[in-house]
Amino acid sequence: MAVLETIVVAFWAMLPAYVPNNAAVLAGGGRPIDGGRTWGDKRVLGDGKTWRGTAAGILAGVLLAGALTLVADDVSAASGIDVPAFTPLAALGLAAGAMLGDITASFLKRRTGRQRGAMFPGLDQLDFVVVSLPLTALLATEWFFEVFTWGVIAVVVVLTPILHVTTNMIAYQLGLKDEPW
């Protein structure tokens, strides 16, 4: 696979995992997942992880995967780059894995004494990759290994932190997010 093709496929394949966090920021609020419970003297997850945000995030990722699947053939024909369609389980693995990764990160932040909104360099940028890729490999094994070649995975690991930093800066500038990370 040529470099450009690998980058386009990586970005396309990861879109259903990229969108959930942004949808959660827009839709978040209401009852926190941990119900306000603490572990030791610290919150289990904190007020930043809500049921509504999580559900909206997963829904947005799955719907986007559906939309991309509808246009995948046309995009492939027009661009000459073979972008993949998503199976329902692949869509679910990517979207739910992204939210699960984000929730796991908050859990780790609270355990290490970080307040809600505190930054955790590295974890903030890659939490959703670390969970969404293995979960997708588990739920949609054949699809995963066909799409996520080593080249694609390498691009994802490099591209994701760059995209994450950029979109969060934009969300911060637009006043959608309280911190630029």
Binding to ligand CTP by residue 100, rule CB under 6 A?
no
Binding to ligand CTP by residue 44, rule CB under 6 A?
no
Residue 41: phi and psi, rounded to 5, are -105, 15
Rounded Cα distance between 59 and 134, Å, is: 20
SS in 3 state form for 73-121?
A: HHHHHHHCCCCCCCCHHHHHHHHHHHHHHHHHHHHHHHHCCCCCCCCCC
CB of 147 to ligand CTP, least distance (A): 25
- Residue with smaller CB distance to ligand CTP, 1 or 162: 162
- Residue with smaller CB distance to ligand CTP, 42 or 116: 116
Torsion sign, CA atoms 51, 24, 27, 41 = positive
Q: Mind giving me the DSSP string for 150-181?
A: HHHHHHHHHHHHHHHHHHHHHHHHTTSSSS--
Binding to ligand CTP by residue 117, rule CB under 6 A?
yes
- Residue with smaller CB distance to ligand CTP, 131 or 177: 177
Q: Which of 102, 128, 144, 160 binds ligand CTP (CB under 6 A)?
A: 102
- Rounded-to-5 percentages of helix, strand, coil across the chain: 70, 5, 25
- Residue with smaller CB distance to ligand CTP, 102 or 133: 102
Question: Binders of ligand CTP: how many residues, by CB under 6 A?
Answer: 19
Rounded Cα distance between 16 and 147, Å, is: 14
Binding to ligand CTP by residue 49, rule CB under 6 A?
yes
CB of 61 to ligand CTP, least distance (A): 12
Binding to ligand CTP by residue 48, rule CB under 6 A?
yes
Binding site for ligand CTP (CB under 6 A): 24-25, 28-29, 46, 48-50, 53-54, 99, 102-103, 106, 109, 116-118, 177
